[in-house]
Structure 1
């Protein structure tokens, strides 16, 4: 997968998470999760773009670590919404799957970079 394709894929993930976040109920918990999910999911493409501007392999690996953490956190909040019966698994499962796939891609990339250092 090319850099451009990953940029588009991470951006689509963020957009899709925002759309799902907006489905959350207007309750204290719903608003809290909405904010958390929007924050961490939009951080994925933003930090991936920043990684591509890194000045060194170490800086690139560090930014990828943030991407991985934010994608994983996104899956946490998506899982939490179904556990609290705020959204259906049919709504969240595709995004949870995508978060896991993105984590796998970026973990593999980070390992490759670190092995080459």
Structure 2
């Protein structure tokens, strides 16, 4: 069945970012970097999960709260990507860029909601 695009920029971008994170974590595990892969996969996939959950928010406050959690997870993901790049291996360039883009989108949506 697979993922159906939602025509919602933040929902779609966060979903595909989660997929990129899962694939990158597979590479980390091949290099026996299990602990850092575990940290990254938790925070990186949590962004999309919280964004999707926000779409079912019962109020504006609930919506913003879920996006706030997604923003915190995106910031943590950015941290782990920096740690990996500094200590372990190169990361795909677009992962940092995509993460920063998600952070900017989340900040903008939260501020304007």
Q: Provide the TM-score with structure 2 as the length reference.
A: 0.87
Who is 2:98 aligned against? Answer: 98
Who is 1:6 aligned against? Answer: 10
Shift of 1:4: 2.8
Who is 1:75 aligned against? Answer: 78
Pair 1:40-2:43 in alignment: yes
For structure 2, list consecutive stretches of 5 or more residues without a partner in the other structure. 1-5
Shift of 1:6: 2.4
Rounded to whole Å, the distance in 1 between the matches of 2:16 and 2:82 is 19
From 20, 26, 31, the counterpart of 2:24? 20
Pair 1:51-2:54 in alignment: yes
- The root-mean-square deviation of aligned C-alpha atoms, in Å, is 1.4
Higher helix share: 1
Shift of 1:50: 0.7
SS of aligned partner of 2:58: coil
Who is 1:87 aligned against? Answer: 89
Shift of 1:12: 0.7
SS of aligned partner of 1:102: helix
Summarize the Cα distance change of 1:3–1:52 in structure 2 as closer, same or farther, 3 Å threshold: farther
Count of paired positions: 106
